[in-house]
Amino acid sequence: MKSNLKWVLYLFFINLILLTSCGKNYSPEEKNYIEEIEKYRSEKDQYMKNDPGSPFNFKGKIDFEPLKYYDPDPEIVFKSRLFLYDKKDTVKVFGTKGEERTSVRFGFVKFNYKNKEYKLNVYKGTAGNGEEYYSIWFTDNTTGNQTYGVGRYLDFELNPDSNFVYTIDFNLTYNPYCAYSPKYSCAVPTKEDHIDLAVEAGEKNFH
């Protein structure tokens, strides 16, 4: 009995050492950043659960459970200017209910990760009230497995300064509303919006 207990304790301490050695040492700034991301996610859960306009309440009540995420990672945050396309093509983008939409492929941002360069398209759309908006949507090598099968989104707010440097934070990638309720339709990323990288950051698959 005592030998079994010693063996259990031995395995416990070995696992503890392994976990400690694999842990990352974050700077105070990175720790503050992680706390901010966790706070943002907690506040979003409260909105999703309680707000009448959330996808869990607006078009019929859906059982809520906390959204699922990868752990915050400060190393998956990048800086980029917006590179405008010389020819801003109007492209067909389909919704998840099969409806055809149009959007302008406006420009792209780019980032370097593990010595490889990637780019994300930025699209310009027009809301029903005539207001223009900008979007990033993409698929990656986690899509359909750990993350939502349609793809994920990143908010993008256009700055009038052509030299403005944007923050591309994959910890803030999120699922569109159709990930939670079939009553919503969302834009499906095109083949050109795939990045050959497992973006293990941001929101995971809800179901």
- Say what the pLDDT of residue 100 is: 95
For 102, phi then psi, to 5°, come to: -125, 145
- Say what the pLDDT of residue 12 is: 44
Report the largest interatomic distance among the alpha carbons of the chain, rounded to a whole angstrom.
75
125: tokens are 């759309």
Nearest Cα residue to 139 out of 53, 202, 71, 62: 202
Nearest Cα residue to 37 out of 202, 206, 207: 202
Give me the residue label for tokens 């994300």: 120
Task: For the chain, 207 residues long, give each residue's pLDDT as a single digit of tens.
Answer: 444 444 444 444 444 434 433 457 899 999 999 999 999 999 999 999 999 999 999 999 999 999 999 999 999 999 999 999 999 999 999 999 999 999 999 999 999 999 999 999 999 998 888 899 999 999 999 999 999 999 999 999 999 999 999 999 999 999 999 999 999 999 999 999 999 999 999 999 998
Helix (H) / strand (E) element for 36: namely helix 28-50
Q: Quote the CA–CA distance of 139 and 146 in Å, as a whole number.
A: 12
Helix (H) / strand (E) element for 119: namely strand 116-126
Give me the residue label for tokens 């793809």: 151
- Say what the pLDDT of residue 184 is: 96
Torsion of CA 169, 91, 158, 82, to 10 degrees: 70
- Say what the pLDDT of residue 23 is: 58
Contact indicator for 185, 161 with CB cutoff of 8 Å: no
Question: Where in the chain are the domains?
Answer: 2-193
